[in-house]
């Protein structure tokens, strides 16, 4: 099954191009509370999108889902609306899925689920060391539809130099096993176009398939639309990039199917042997 690919933008024209190229979810990013402190000095995307952006993107889409990342659970202060008002506004504006970032307790996830109240799908973003330590308690919260692992902030919180170290030190694999045991769809990190990135995306896509991941974000290096004024140039990047990823996924799926078939045959043979004993 192909990965559910997401792209962050508040530009309706770019969103439409991404949708037409096969991107499954358009991602509007409203998170800003606490982000500067966590990512200070890092060359990371800090979008500061708004409710108006949510409305504009929703009106541009016909087939892709609209995912909105809100702020961490917070109370109203100094002209900033609280989480309840923010969630209500995001849902009214047309979100299909809401992502909760940077939480450290199961109570925050419980509050998030309560405020959403089943109106749209929920997607907690595991990106703090504390959330990893408490993941069993967090996954016991009813109402979680999906989970995502935010490799950038989590790697910072865990003192890593490179966010994909979490793939090699066992952190991501342990989390993915827990998600699978709970039957909760999950994803992690970002991927560039094939052959791009410090760690080429082919290796990362294979890990998604090995671990049973269902979704990933198309990273800024896949297409930084802010660097282009020509929409046709953006369209060409999306069309060629998405075509390459989807073709590569077919290869991954075929190889996984080989091992799935082998597992099925083994089970059947063992059953036959046991029955004959």
Query: Which CATH number covers residue 262?
Result: 3.20.20.60
3 state SS of 191: strand
pLDDT of residue 171: 97
d(CA 128, CA 40): 16
Lowest mean pLDDT among 28-32, 173-177, 201-205, 253-257: 253-257
Q: What is the dihedral of CA 76, 81, 84, 90, to 10 degrees?
A: -160
d(CA 15, CA 57): 7
53 and 69 Cβ atoms separated by less than 8 Å:
no
3 state SS of 215: strand
Residue holding tokens 């909105």? 68
3 state SS of 237: helix
d(CA 31, CA 38): 12
pLDDT of residue 48: 83
Residue holding tokens 């410090």? 198
d(CA 29, CA 72): 12
Residues 6+ apart with CB under 8 A from 23: 5, 6, 7, 64, 218, 238, 242
d(CA 268, CA 52): 56
pTM (2 d.p.)? 0.91
30 and 69 Cβ atoms separated by less than 8 Å:
yes
Other CB atoms within a 10 A radius of the CB of residue 127 amount to: 21
> 108 falls in which pLDDT band (50, 70, 90)?
very high
Angle among Cα 122, 206, 202 to the nearest 5 degrees reads 110
Q: Which residue segment(s) compose the domain that 40 sits in?
A: 4-276
Q: What tens digit of pLDDT does each residue of 20-45 get?
A: 999 999 999 999 987 767 555 555 55
pLDDT of residue 265: 87
Q: Total structural domains in the chain?
A: 1
User: Closest Cα to residue 103, out of 134, 78, 77?
Assistant: 134
Q: What tens digit of pLDDT does each residue of 117-141 get?
A: 999 999 999 999 999 999 999 999 9
- 46: pLDDT strictly greater than 70: no
């Amino acid at each position: 099954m192909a990965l559910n690919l997401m792209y962050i933008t508040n530009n309706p024209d770019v969103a439409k191009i991404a949708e037409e190229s096969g991107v499954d979810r358009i991602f509007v990013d409203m998170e800003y509370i606490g982000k500067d402190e966590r990512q200070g000095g890092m060359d990371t995307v800090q979008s500061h999108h708004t409710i108006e952006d949510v409305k504009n993107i929703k009106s541009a889409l016909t087939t892709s889902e609209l995912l909105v990342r809100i702020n961490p659970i917070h109370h109203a202060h100094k002209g900033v609306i609280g989480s309840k008002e923010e969630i209500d506004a995001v849902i009214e504006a047309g979100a299909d899925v809401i992502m909760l970032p940077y939480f450290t307790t199961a109570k925050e996830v419980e509050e998030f689920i309560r405020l959403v109240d089943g109106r749209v799908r929920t997607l907690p973003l595991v990106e703090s060391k504390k959330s990893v330590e408490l993941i069993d308690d967090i996954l016991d919260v009813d109402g979680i539809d999906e989970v995502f692992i935010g490799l950038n902030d989590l790697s910072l919180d865990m003192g890593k130099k490179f966010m994909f170290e979490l793939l090699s030190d066992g952190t991501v694999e342990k989390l993915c096993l827990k998600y699978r045991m709970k039957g909760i769809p999950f994803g992690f990190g970002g991927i560039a176009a094939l052959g791009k990135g410090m760690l080429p995306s082919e290796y990362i896509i294979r890990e998604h398939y090995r671990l049973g991941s269902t979704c990933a974000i198309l990273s800024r290096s896949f297409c930084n639309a802010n660097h282009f004024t020509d929409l046709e140039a953006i369209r060409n990047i999306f069309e060629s990039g998405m075509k390459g990823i989807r073709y590569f996924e077919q290869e991954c799926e075929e190889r996984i199917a080989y091992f799935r078939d082998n597992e099925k045959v083994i089970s059947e043979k063992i059953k036959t042997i046991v029955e004959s004993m």
